[in-house]
Structure 1
Amino acid sequence: MKILLVEDDKKIGEELSFQLELLGYKTSRVENFEKVIDDFNKSDFSLVIMDLKLPYKNGFYWTSEIRKVSKVPIIFLTSASDDINLISAINYGADDFIAKPFSMQVLHSKIIAILRRSFDFNDVDDLKLKYENLVLDRDKMILEIDSKSIALSKNEFLIMEILLESPRKIVSREKIMDKLWATESFIDDNTLTVNINRIRKKIKALGLDNLIHTKKGVGYYIK
């Protein structure tokens, strides 16, 4: 899934891009705010996050321009959270609205909900992450293999997601903790170890005693 970020505040744009990529999305940031539609047409985006107050022309204008050529989902991101702006955003073609300052957990929930409504996930199966015959269901937060399944807590799910996105590759402890912090799960090094041990105990019920391996002093990997 690739997301176009239309945000003129460089610091916010860079941080938003960083956090979304930790969550597994690909992002592209608009640099020339006179030609937003040109950046949009350069790639096949699954979602647009659009700021309201932009140089040259505002987010309402660019939303209406995108709507002339695409039905891609658009989330408005703005500090102007009054009802008039909300109504205007919807009237111009936005699908949702989130006010600054915002929680990444709330934004991520909105992204998942919009993508689920907008695309046929039964066909593209984007809500399921697969490794061999193991399936991580992103919608239900469960891990499945053959006819067996286990439920995961939020932190357990996020850890399994980042490991399964790069199977057989070592994922550093720092990268895992960055992802958890991005969703406001404020954990430290010791808490990460506890969560990994809990996952290992849970997946034994699936017959996966040796799924998660440790690279001492570095991180973890799936094999």
Structure 2
Amino acid sequence: MNKIFLVEDDPVISKAVVNHLTMWGYEIKAAVDFGRVLEEFLAFDPQLVLLDIGLPHYNGYHWCEEIRRRSKVPVVFLSSASDNMNIITAMNLGGDDFIAKPFDLSVLTAKVQAVLRRAYSFQNSINFIEHGGVMLNLSDASLTFQDRKLDLTKNDFKILQILMENAGHVVSRSDIMTRLWESDSFIDDNTLTVNMTRLRKKLEEAGMRDFVVTKKGLGYLIP
């Protein structure tokens, strides 16, 4: 399990980030004493640090420099001070990425995974596809949107995977049928329609209306 150390002064943001990343399988610890961030970092020994700039006692730049003297662990800055000067300073001090507040938790998760992929070669890392705030987890065949996790059937998962892999492009019915049943022969065309109807109902009930669009005579599209 990948370990993430969060240094965030806003308790509301901190709680939301901890809950969301925990749901995605990360072990995450939030800093408790902002005067002893380095000690807490060394004791936890994480694979990634999420670091706010505006902190009590010392700012995030100070702690990034302290961490960099002892570790090459990836550091991702989180801050509402997202002007060019702050971003450049963060990168020059050893930051690996910069996420401006306010941010979408799904985007945060995607950025975290991208940084971990670049920094390490974890074979058991969570793989996912993200589009428009909707995240398809390839490890457990689930879908997450606005902190709600949906369990998918085998066909739900395969349909969403091929559509999200080709987001912005129409996928033909025959291509989807081949993906679902390994063949587009001897399959009643209505079977795909039934599967699509059930999937769309599930998505709509979770607040994802029109996530999948029908292109009459062509196929389906996630715009």
String of CA shifts for 1:29-79, please: whole Å, max 9, x gaps.
101000000100112201000000000000000000000000000000000
Cα distance in 2, alignment partners of residues 117 and 108 from structure 1: 14
Match of 2:146 among 155, 159, 181: 181
Matches within 5 A, 1:52-131: 52-119=53-120, 121=121, 124-127=122-125
* Corresponding residue number in structure 2 for 1:33: 34
Unaligned runs of 5+ in 1: 129-137, 142-153, 164-175, 207-223
Name which structure has the greater RCO, CA cutoff 8 Å, separation 6+: 1
Cα RMSD (Å): 2.8
Identity of aligned residues (%): 36
Cα distance change, pair 59–180 in 1 and its aligned pair in 2 (3 A): same
Which aligned runs of 4 or more in structure 1 are off by greater than 3 angstroms? Answer: 154-157, 160-163, 199-206
* Corresponding residue number in structure 1 for 2:139: 161
Cα distance in 1, alignment partners of residues 62 and 135 from structure 2: 42
Cα distance change, pair 198–93 in 1 and its aligned pair in 2 (3 A): same
- What's the TM-score once normalised by structure 2's chain length? 0.63
* Corresponding residue number in structure 2 for 1:42: 43
Match of 1:196 among 150, 153, 170: 153
String of CA shifts for 1:152-200, please: whole Å, max 9, x gaps.
xx97943x6347xxxxxxxxxxxx77x4323xxx78xxxx57x426347
Cα distance change, pair 106–155 in 1 and its aligned pair in 2 (3 A): closer
The code of the aligned residue for 2:103 comes to: F
The code of the aligned residue for 2:26 comes to: Y
Contact 2:65 2:94 in 1 (8 A): yes
Contact 1:34 1:56 in 2 (8 A): yes
* Corresponding residue number in structure 2 for 1:133: none
Cα distance in 2, alignment partners of residues 197 and 112 from structure 1: 24
Unaligned runs of 5+ in 2: 160-178, 183-223
Q: Which has the larger radius of gyration?
A: 2
Cα distance change, pair 127–57 in 1 and its aligned pair in 2 (3 A): same
The code of the aligned residue for 2:139 comes to: E
Cα distance change, pair 45–198 in 1 and its aligned pair in 2 (3 A): same
